[in-house]
Structure 1
C-alpha cells in the first residue's frame, strides 16, 4: 500500500501535490504584533475597542493577509490603526499550539507619519516607558514590552 501511495504521489507533480497538501493540513490565521518604539525608547500602546474592557490596552496587532510577509503585516497594521510608519526589526516571538492561529511579534521602529487613529478600532494611543505601562495592558503584551517571553 505504501508503494502505491508513493507512486501516486510522485505522479501528481507540482501544483497537484500542493493542492493535496493544502487539503490534508490545518489552516491557520497568523496574528502579528508590532513592538513599536520611538527614538526616546517609549512603546506605542493602543486602547482597542474590540478587546475586553479589563484588557483593552495592547501593542498594535492584526492578522496577516494572503501574500503578505509578517514584516509587511506589522507595517500595514500600524499604519491602518495609527497613521504612523514603522520599520520592522527582528522577530522576537513565535507561538503555535492554538487551534486555528499562530502568533508572532516583531520589534519595530517609528520612522514617520502623523498620528491619526482608526476611529472604528482604536479609542486611544499612548507612548509609554516600561515603567509607566497602563492598567488593562494585555499580559502577553506587557511581557513583550518587558523583554520576557509571554506564556
Structure 2
C-alpha cells in the first residue's frame, strides 16, 4: 500500500500536491506581536478596547493576512493602531499548540510617524520604562518585554 501511495504522490506533482496537502493539514491564524522600543529604551504599550477590562494593556498585536511576511505584519499593525513607523528586528518568540492559532513576536524599533491611535481598537497608547509597566499589562507581553519567552 505504501508503494502505491508513493507512486501516486509522484504522479500528481505540482499544484495538485499542494491542494492535497492543504486539505489534509491543519489551518492556523498567525498572531503577530511587536515589542516596539524607542531610542530611550521605552516600550510602546496600547490599551486595547476589546481585551479583558482587568488586562487591557499590551503590545501592538494583530493577525497576519494571507501571503504577508510576519515582520511586515508588525509594521502594518503598528501603523494601523498608532500611526507610528517601525523597523522590525529579530524574532523573539514562536508558540504553537493552540487550537487554531500560532503566536510569533518580533522586536521592533521606532523610526518615525506621529502618534495617532485607532479609536476603534485602541483606547490609549503610551511609552513605558520596562521597569514601570502599568497595572493590567498582559503577563505574556510583560515576559516578552523582559526578554523572556512566555510560557
TM-score, length basis structure 1: 0.99
Paired residues in the alignment total 151
Within 5 A, what are the aligned runs for 1:2-151? 2-151=2-151
Residue 67 of structure 1: CA displacement?
1.0
Structure 2: runs of 5+ lacking an equivalent: none
- Determine helix, strand or coil for the equivalent of 1:132: coil
Residue 148 of structure 1: CA displacement?
1.2
Provide the C-alpha distance between the structure 2 equivalents of 1:22 and 1:35, rounded to a whole number of angstroms.
Answer: 32
Provide the C-alpha distance between the structure 1 equivalents of 2:135 and 2:75, rounded to a whole number of angstroms.
Answer: 26
TM-score, length basis structure 2: 0.99
Provide the C-alpha distance between the structure 2 equivalents of 1:68 and 1:2, rounded to a whole number of angstroms.
Answer: 36
Cα-to-partner distance string for 1:53-97 (whole Å, 9 max, x where unaligned)? 011000000000011100000000000000000000000000011
- Determine helix, strand or coil for the equivalent of 1:131: coil
Residue 149 of structure 1: CA displacement?
1.4
Structure 1: runs of 5+ lacking an equivalent: none
Please report the RMSD computed on the Cα atoms of aligned residues, expressed in angstroms. Answer: 0.5
Cα-to-partner distance string for 1:21-42 (whole Å, 9 max, x where unaligned)? 0000000000000000000100
* Poorly superposed stretches of 4+, deviation over 2 Å: none
Higher helix share: 1
